């Protein structure tokens, strides 16, 4: 029997098994050809798996704020994106809290609501023809008229000024109307003070404001200065240089014109007291604020530029919100109340 050759088995015999300390798990004592192949494959260098970055989910309130900002962008009344501006500022912990507190600044809401109702402003923000830019002059005149005035006083004097220049409903104040107007003065018998007259009407303008309006009209009537000039196409610095050449127009007036009329995205008015007060309130919890002297203003200007450029206009608007909110919550000081019989 020992000389009889047996046929080879169809499959190799099962390898001997060796038990581990775990009686329920058995590992092969000899690796099968299949196990060897698998082990060889595992020993080869494997490509590094691509790990997708984890994008943190936006806080729910911020998501709703961005949705509202998207609706403002859809109105196409400005050349920059409110969504992108808020996303940029929200990356800063300092401003994230401000955005969550005030959401969309009311200045943007009101501006968008007004401009979206004017066909001339819709979808033409970068390509407005000359016929669409003739409202720069009355806007600047109104800025001059409203200097150092508030609320109802601005509207009252503005209405009287328009009547004095014979501007009726549906018309705009033009440089030509100012050029052709007659300016004079009279003495008020009640206080013996000199009052300004425009075409024989007393609008309530001071002599300084009258001179500013005349100077502005002269610039807009001069082809070498502002006549036919599309101010929207001028760089911020050049625009500031041209407009501050007008008597009575300082940097603050020009910055307000740039921010709210031309809707520039990167204007910071460090000369605006409300902006400085509001921004210091924003920074105070973070142990950072700036003095009111010249050096403090320069330091604040440099800080804002380094941290929040190119969306400093929105920084100003949130600073306005913060300051107005502070004034609204401020309790009156009883010690400052005067007795009715106390002399002033």
CATH number at residue 185: 1.10.340.30
Containing structural domain, residue 143: 129-261
CA distances from 174 to 57, 159, 224 (A): 52, 15, 18
Alpha carbons 226 and 228: distance in angstroms, whole number:
6
Q: Are residues 253 and 316 located together in one domain of the fold? A: no
Tell whether 48 is covered by a domain.
no
The three-class DSSP label of residue 214 is helix
Tell whether 23 is covered by a domain.
no
Judging by DSSP bridges, how do beta strands 183-187 and 26-28 pair with one another? unpaired
Report pTM: 0.70
CA-nearest of 216, 208, 244, 219 to 139 is: 216
Alpha carbons 280 and 323: distance in angstroms, whole number:
9
Q: Are residues 205 and 253 located together in one domain of the fold? A: yes
CB 188 within 8 A of CB 195: yes
Classify residue 133 as exposed, middle or buried by CB count within 10 Å of its CB (0-12, 13-18, 19+). middle
CB 234 within 8 A of CB 218: no
Q: Are residues 226 and 194 located together in one domain of the fold? A: yes
Q: Which residues contact 311 (CB under 8 A, 6 or more apart)?
A: 80, 84, 85, 88, 89, 265, 266
Report pLDDT for 42. Answer: 56
CA distances from 17 to 11, 23, 31, 33, 36 (A): 17, 12, 10, 16, 16
Q: Are residues 249 and 151 located together in one domain of the fold? A: yes
Last residue of a domain, one of 216, 237, 261: 261
One digit per residue, the tens of pLDDT, for the chain of length 344 reads 444 333 334 344 445 454 444 444 444 445 455 455 545 555 566 555 555 554 455 556 899 999 999 999 998 888 899 999 999 999 998 899 999 999 999 888 877 666 655 544 333 334 443 434 558 999 999 999 988 887 788 899 999 999 999 998 888 999 999 999 999 999 888 888 888 999 999 999 999 999 999 999 999 999 999 998 888 889 999 999 999 999 999 999 999 999 988 999 999 999 999 999 999 999 999 888 899 999 999 999 999 999 999 999 999 999 999 999 999 887 666 555 554 454 44
Last residue of a domain, one of 231, 261, 291: 261
CA-nearest of 133, 154, 156, 160 to 142 is: 154
Tell whether 337 is covered by a domain.
no
Report pLDDT for 121. Answer: 38
Tell whether 25 is covered by a domain.
no
| Number of CB atoms found within 10 A of residue 298's CB | 12
Q: Are residues 238 and 292 located together in one domain of the fold? A: no
Tell whether 83 is covered by a domain.
yes
Report pLDDT for 75. Answer: 86
Q: Are residues 146 and 180 located together in one domain of the fold? A: yes
Q: Are residues 169 and 155 located together in one domain of the fold? A: yes
Q: Are residues 200 and 253 located together in one domain of the fold? A: yes
Q: Are residues 105 and 152 located together in one domain of the fold? A: no
Q: Are residues 158 and 93 located together in one domain of the fold? A: no
Number of domains in the chain: 2
CA-nearest of 85, 25, 90, 29 to 62 is: 90
Could you tell me the two tokens for 64?
């709703």
> Is the sign of the CA dihedral 65, 70, 75, 76 positive or negative?
positive
Alpha carbons 115 and 111: distance in angstroms, whole number:
6
The three-class DSSP label of residue 18 is strand
CB 86 within 8 A of CB 80: no
> Is the sign of the CA dihedral 325, 272, 158, 175 positive or negative?
negative
For 275-295, give one letter per residue: b (16+ CB within 10 A) or e. Answer: bbbbbbbbbeeeeeebeeeee
Q: Are residues 74 and 94 located together in one domain of the fold? A: yes
CA angle 273, 278, 280 (to 5 degrees): 100
Report pLDDT for 49. Answer: 53
């Amino acid at each position: 029997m020992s000389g009889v050759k047996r046929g080879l088995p169809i499959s190799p015999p099962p390898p001997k098994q060796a038990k581990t300390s775990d009686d329920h798990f058995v590992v092969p004592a000899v690796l099968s050809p299949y196990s060897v192949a698998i082990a060889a494959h595992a020993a080869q260098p494997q490509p590094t798996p691509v790990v997708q970055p984890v994008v943190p989910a936006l806080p729910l309130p911020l998501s709703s704020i961005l949705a509202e900002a998207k609706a403002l962008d859809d109105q196409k009344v400005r050349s920059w994106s409110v969504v992108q501006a808020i996303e940029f500022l929200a990356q800063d912990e300092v401003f994230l809290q401000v955005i969550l507190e005030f959401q969309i600044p009311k200045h943007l809401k009101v501006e968008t609501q007004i401009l979206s109702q004017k066909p001339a402003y819709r979808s033409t923000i970068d390509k407005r023809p000359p016929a669409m830019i003739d409202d720069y002059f009355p806007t600047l005149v109104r800025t001059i008229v409203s200097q150092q005035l508030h609320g109802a006083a601005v509207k009252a004097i503005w209405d009287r000024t328009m009547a004095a220049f014979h501007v009726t409903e549906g018309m705009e104040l033009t440089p030509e109307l100012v050029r052709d107007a007659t300016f004079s003065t009279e003495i008020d018998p009640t206080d013996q003070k000199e009052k300004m007259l425009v075409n024989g009407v007393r609008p309530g303008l001071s002599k300084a404001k009258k001179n500013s309006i005349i100077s502005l009209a002269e610039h807009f009537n001069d082809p070498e200065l502002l006549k036919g000039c599309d101010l929207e196409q001028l760089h911020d610095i050049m625009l500031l240089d041209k407009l501050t050449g007008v008597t009575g127009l300082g940097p603050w007036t020009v910055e307000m014109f740039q921010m709210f009329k031309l809707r520039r995205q990167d204007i910071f008015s460090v000369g605006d007291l409300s902006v400085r007060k509001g921004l210091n309130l924003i920074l105070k919890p973070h142990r950072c604020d700036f003095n009111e002297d010249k050096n403090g203003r320069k330091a604040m200007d440099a800080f804002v530029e380094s941290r929040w450029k190119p969306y400093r206009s929105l920084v100003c608007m949130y600073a306005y919100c913060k300051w107005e909110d502070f004034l609204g919550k401020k309790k009156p000081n009883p010690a400052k109340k005067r007795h009715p019989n106390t002399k002033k």
